[in-house]
Chains A and B, each alone.
Chain A
Amino acid sequence: EAQVTQNPRYLITVTGKKLTVTCSQNMNHEYMSWYRQDPGLGLRQIYYSMNVEVTDKGDVPEGYKVSRKEKRNFPLILESPSPNQTSLYFCASSLYPNTGELFFGEGSRLTVL
């Protein structure tokens, strides 16, 4: 089954404790990206990746890091989480970077205390 898998789905952590949200897709998509969803703001793009070792900032990259060492994986790293990073996070991939629809993971709800 074609899918984007995120883990963990739910996480409660404390300020400053490094965490990684993993994302993996099995569709051989070159384009992958991360979004955060906050009430009233829709989804905002954090980072995206055009291919292995090629990443770029979205609209809200502060406080986040990403890496793309393999085509299928695109982890999101919060080196020192803060409460304002409490949010619902989505990973997505697309076959065509310009025109293809996004295939989303199920979302990861993160709470930073």
Chain B
Amino acid sequence: AQKITQTQPGMFVQEKEAVTLDCTYDTSDQSYGLFWYKQPSSGEMIFLIYQGSYDEQNATEGRYSLNFQKARKSANLVISASQLGDSAMYFCAMRVVGGFKTIFGAGTRLFVKA
């Protein structure tokens, strides 16, 4: 069975600094996708970044990058130059190709300090 683990329930970061949110996953499938979503206090879910299991390059989207280490089964989100608006809950998720289910981690709440 697939599983996503986010070991950091909460994290603090100083504004303008970089922060890494950890995500490890477990699957025996070879073809899958990894996603990160942001949930601000207003409650909506916002897609941030995607990494395919066969992608050789780490995904990047503006200030977000995904540090993908396939052998370690980790897919950490790196946010560079944190902003106050980055304070939110962040969820790591995985979908196995052909499986159609999406598995989410428990989330990490990030607090950005001024």
Contact = CB atoms under 8 A, between A and B. Distances in A.
Interface of A: 31, 33, 35, 40-45, 48, 50, 56, 58-59, 88, 90, 92, 97-99, 101-104, 106-107
Interface of B: 4, 6, 33, 35, 37, 43-45, 47, 50, 52, 91, 93, 95, 97-98, 100-107
Query: Which secondary structure characterizes the binding site on chain B?
Result: strand
Contacts of B104: 35, 42-44
Contact of A99 (B33, B37, B93, B105): B33
30 contacts: A42-B4, A42-B6, A42-B91, A42-B104, A42-B105, A42-B106, A42-B107, A43-B91, A43-B93, A45-B102, A88-B43, A90-B45, A97-B100, A98-B98, A99-B33, A99-B50, A99-B95, A99-B97, A101-B35, A101-B47, A102-B35, A102-B37, A102-B45, A103-B47, A104-B44, A104-B45, A106-B43, A107-B43, A107-B44, A107-B45
A40 B101 contact: no
